[in-house]
Amino acid sequence: MVKILVIYYSLEGNTQLIAENIAKTVNADVLRLVPEKDIKSTGGRRFFWGGKQVVMKEKPVLKPFDKNPLEYDLLFIGTPVWAWSFTPALRSFFSEVKLQGKKIAIFCTHSGGMRKTLANIKNKLAGNEILGEIDFIDPLKNPATHVSKAMEWARNLITLI
């Protein structure tokens, strides 16, 4: 049986909504990336602190993983967009886990300004096969639509393996 893992970071729940529904659809395990010390999820200052971490290419220390990504055949990797790119937690993940020869699908959630986020993620995943990519704009504002979009994407994607 193909082993599938959904790996994601989420501060405010949007990426979590998508990740959990993908996992349910394709019967995957889930690994949530959680920094030991995260920024606060409320207040306008989170944009400043989060954006600064992205610009400075910071790699926050993550809580220990309870799943080993290297044991899986297909990985879904998801992140919110921060400062037009992927989140610091994902940067930490990429530096901790050297993925090679995996089948990977990537997704992000954002508020309308993702710019090159997906391309930046793909740069970090050289040596792997990218099976698909998708983005979602503010999923929590319209959960039903976004969840069905995510489920359909995931269902189609696993027909490729």
Nearest to 117 by CA among 78, 89, 88, 81: 81
Quick check: 120 binds ligand FMN (CB under 6 A)? no
In the complex, what is the shortest distance from the CB of residue 90 to ligand FMN, in angstroms, rounded to a whole number?
A: 12
Quick check: 15 binds ligand FMN (CB under 6 A)? yes
Structure token pair of residue 133 = 């990519």
In the complex, what is the shortest distance from the CB of residue 78 to ligand FMN, in angstroms, rounded to a whole number?
A: 8
Reported in sequence order, the residue ranges of the chain that DSSP labels E, i.e. its strands, are 4-8, 29-32, 74-80, 103-110, 129-137
Quick check: 113 binds ligand FMN (CB under 6 A)? yes
In the complex, what is the shortest distance from the CB of residue 131 to ligand FMN, in angstroms, rounded to a whole number?
A: 22
Structure token pair of residue 137 = 């704009």
**Between 11 and 90, whose beta carbon lies closer to ligand FMN?**
11
Residue of 24, 46, 59, 124 interacting with ligand FMN (CB under 6 A):
46
Residues contacting 157, CB < 8 A, separation 6+: 26, 105, 131, 132
**Between 17 and 154, whose beta carbon lies closer to ligand FMN?**
17
CA angle 71, 6, 9 (to 5 degrees): 120
- Residues near ligand FMN (CB under 6 A) are 10-16, 46-47, 50-51, 80-84, 109-114, 138
